[in-house]
């Protein structure tokens, strides 16, 4: 269970602080209005990802005996995580554009996350093989992975909203870029594990 919790925490932290549409919206709402607005955006994945997680759970439960399909999904997940890892290593900070539209922060967050391909790609290619392995152990492993992931996904975005409200320079500073690069290396290592699982599922290891 600890292994799945740790995996969720690392992947959640990486997803939470990586540059993207939702993080940009978190920061822009914070700078345009206040921290509360940024925090509302950060909470959006809890709502928008729920149907995706339920679909992934059903998919994972039905795929436990289909090794070749799991091998293909694991390979796709490894490729996606490797792509995210390389992007994190190359990160030069987060640039944010601020608009003057009225504040509807939570609605904006839901729309931005629902229309982003990243949650779907993550859960169907990375989450599915991880939760398939978790289901084969017990339900607590599944819960620990999901809880660990969202604690850090949402928590890190809230933390960045607070930091942005106090120091705009952090998101282009050396500390943020260093953290992104370390997480990028960790993601590349995770990609290696998913590639290994892919080969194991199809009988090549």
- Please report, in tens digits, the pLDDT of each residue of the chain (205 residues total): 899 999 999 999 999 988 777 888 888 888 778 889 999 999 999 999 999 999 988 877 777 677 888 888 889 989 998 998 898 888 776 655 555 555 678 898 898 888 888 888 899 889 988 998 898 899 999 999 999 999 999 999 999 999 888 876 777 778 888 888 888 898 899 899 999 989 988 888 8
* pLDDT score for 150: 96
- pLDDT tens readout for residues 140-182: 999 999 999 999 999 999 999 998 888 767 777 788 888 888 8
* pTM of the predicted protein model: 0.81
- The H-assigned helical ranges of 63-138 are 67-89, 105-114, 118-121, 128-135
* pLDDT score for 101: 57
Q: For 117, which DSSP code?
A: S
SS (H, E, C) 127-154: HHHHHHHHHCCCHHHHHHHHHHHHHHHH
Q: At what angle do helices 50-62 and 128-135 cross, to 10 degrees?
A: 60
What are the sequence ranges of the domains in the chain? 2-201
* pLDDT score for 103: 64
* Inter-CA distances, 62 with 28, 58, 67, 76, Å: 41, 6, 11, 18
């Amino acid at each position: 269970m600890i292994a799945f919790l740790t995996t969720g925490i690392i992947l959640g932290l990486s997803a939470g602080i990586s540059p993207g549409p939702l993080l940009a919206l978190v920061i822009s709402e914070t700078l345009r209005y206040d921290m509360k607005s940024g925090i509302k955006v950060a909470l959006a994945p809890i709502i928008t990802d729920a149907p995706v997680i339920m679909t992934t759970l059903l998919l994972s439960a039905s795929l436990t005996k289909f090794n070749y399909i799991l091998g293909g999904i694991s390979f796709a997940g490894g490729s996606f995580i490797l792509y995210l890892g390389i992007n994190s290593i190359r990160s030069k900070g987060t640039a944010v554009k601020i608009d003057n539209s009225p504040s509807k922060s939570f609605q904006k967050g839901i729309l931005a996350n629902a229309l982003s391909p990243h949650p779907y790609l993550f859960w169907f290619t990375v989450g599915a093989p991880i939760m398939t392995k978790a289901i084969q152990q017990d339900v607590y492993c599944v819960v620990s992975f999901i809880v660990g992931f969202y604690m850090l996904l949402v928590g890190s975005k809230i933390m960045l909203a607070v930091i942005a409200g106090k120091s705009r320079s952090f998101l282009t500073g050396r500390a943020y870029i260093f953290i992104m690069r370390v997480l990028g290396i960790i993601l590349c290592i995770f990609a290696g594990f998913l590639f290994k699982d892919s080969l194991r599922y199809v009988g090549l290891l």
